[in-house]
Amino acid sequence: MSKIGLVVCGNSGIDYIKHDYDIRVIRSMLLFGDDEYTDFIDIKADAFYKMLIEKPELHPSTAQTATGVILETYEKLKADGYDEILVITISSKLSGTYEGAVMAKNMIEGIKVTVFDSLTVSYPEAYMVLTAAEMIKKGKGVSEVIDRLMFIRENHGILVSVDTLKYLVRNGRLSGASGFLGGLLNIKPMLTLTREGRLEPLEKIRTRKKAINRIIDKYVEEHAEDNQEVFIAHANAFDVLDEVKEKLLERCPQIKELKVHPLTPVVGAHAGPGTLAIGWIKKK
C-alpha cells in the first residue's frame, strides 16, 4: 500500500486546529515594508490584528510560498519514506500557491505528487486536508480521497462581511467589482466565495450592524440545511462574534456545534480586521 504524505498551505488555518496527523504546511509571507514574517511562525493572528488596529497607517502585503520552499517540502516527505504526496492549496483565483505547487511537482523525481485546487480558503481548506488525513489513515488511496475532496469543494459556501473594502481593493482580491465600488469604500458589503473560487460582492450595505445581520439572514433563508457543518471565520471580529453565534444557534437549532476559526494574518491582510464569515460544509 502506498504511503501518502499530505501538504496544505497555511491559508487554511490548519495551524490553529489541534490534530494528530502528519500534515506538512507551506506558509505564505507577510510583508510590512522591508520586514518579512512567515505566517504563523513569526506572527500569529491576534498579534497581527492588534498591529493593524494600533497602526492603521501600515499597509501589509503578502507573498506566496516560494517554489523552492515547496520543493524542499516534497523532498523532505520523500526522504521521510513517503512514496506519494497529495497537496491541497488555497483557491488558484486568490493566490499563486497552486501554480507554485504544480511547478515544484514538475521539479521532483521519484515520487508521485498530486496537487488539488481547493477553490476555497480558511476552514473549508483545512476540513479538506483533515478529511484526507482520516481517509488515508483508513487505507484509502489518492483517487478516493480526491473524489471526496471534489464533493466538499462543490458542496460548501462562505458568506463574508468586511468592515472595509480598502484591503481587498488595494490587494486586488475582489472580483466582479466593476461599478460596485465607485467611491463607496465606506460601505460594509456582503461578499461570497463563488464555486469558481473567486471572492465577489453580493450586496451593498451601509452599516456594520446591518451587514452582520444580513449575512445571518442570507444563510438562514437560502443555505441552512440539517446536514451541514457550520462555522464562523473572522479577523479579530470579537465585537460581534458572540452576537452572531447566539443568533445563528437560536435560528438554526439543528446546528449542534458551531466552530469558530481565526483568519490567518496572510488572509486577513487581504480581508482586513473586523471581517466575519459564516460558512457551511455539506456532510455525506
φ and ψ at residue 66, rounded to 5 degrees: -60, 140
49, 40 contact by CB (below 8 A): no
End-to-end alpha carbon distance in the chain: 26
Boundaries of CATH 3.40.50.10170 in the chain? 4-28+64-154
pLDDT at 31 over 80: yes
- The tens digit of pLDDT for each residue in 69-119 reads 999 999 999 999 999 999 999 999 999 999 999 999 999 999 999 999 999
Q: Would you state the torsion angle of the CA atoms of residues 98, 100, 101, 103, taken in this order, to the nearest 10 degrees? A: 120
Lowest mean pLDDT among 5-19, 30-44, 71-85, 124-138: 30-44
DSSP summary character for residue 80? T
Boundaries of CATH 3.30.1180.10 in the chain? 156-282
User: Is residue 4 very low, low, confident or very high in pLDDT (cuts 50, 70, 90)?
Assistant: very high
Class of domain 156-282: alpha beta
At residue 284, the pLDDT reads: 82
Grouping H, G, I as helix, E, B as strand and the rest as coil, residue 238 is helix
CATH fold for domain 4-28+64-154: Rossmann fold (3.40.50)
- The tens digit of pLDDT for each residue in 251-267 reads 999 999 999 999 999 99
pLDDT average, residue stretch 148-157: 98
